[in-house]
Amino acid sequence: MKTVLITGASSGIGKAFAELFAKKNDHIILASRNEEKLSSIAQQLRDNYGILRLQFPLTWHRVPVPSSYTNN
């Protein structure tokens, strides 16, 4: 049994990997920017495979870049 961190787990290839590892009964940690979709996927995995270890909604913050780092 492995422990797997899956980013982008709410759609596309991340979601496909989440299901693949859940089928193998691995411990999965899900991360995604879309909290609503992430909760839905997490519930589906719990319902279908009876497992889910952790889920994390990710938030991104725009950090100002100092002008000394730009080409302007």
Domain limits at 51?
A: 3-59
pLDDT at res. 15: 94
Distant-in-sequence, close-in-space partners of 54: CB < 8 Å, separation ≥ 6: 29, 30
Q: Quickly count: other Cβ atoms within 10 Å of residue 42's Cβ.
A: 20
Residue 71, domain member (yes or no): no
pTM listed for this prediction: 0.71
pLDDT at res. 17: 95
Residue 33, domain member (yes or no): yes
Residue 69, domain member (yes or no): no
∠ CA 47-52-56, nearest 5°, is: 120
Residue 64, domain member (yes or no): no
Query: Tens of pLDDT along the chain (72 residues)?
Result: 888 899 898 899 999 999 999 999 898 888 888 888 988 998 999 899 887 666 677 766 566 666 666 565
Residue 43, domain member (yes or no): yes
Closest among 62, 18, 55, 63 to 33, alpha carbons compared: 55
pLDDT at res. 24: 92
State how far the Cα of 51 lies from the Cα of 11, in Å rounded to an integer. 18
Number of domains into which the chain is organized? 1
Residue 45, domain member (yes or no): yes
We report the CATH number of the domain holding residue 29 as: 3.40.50.720
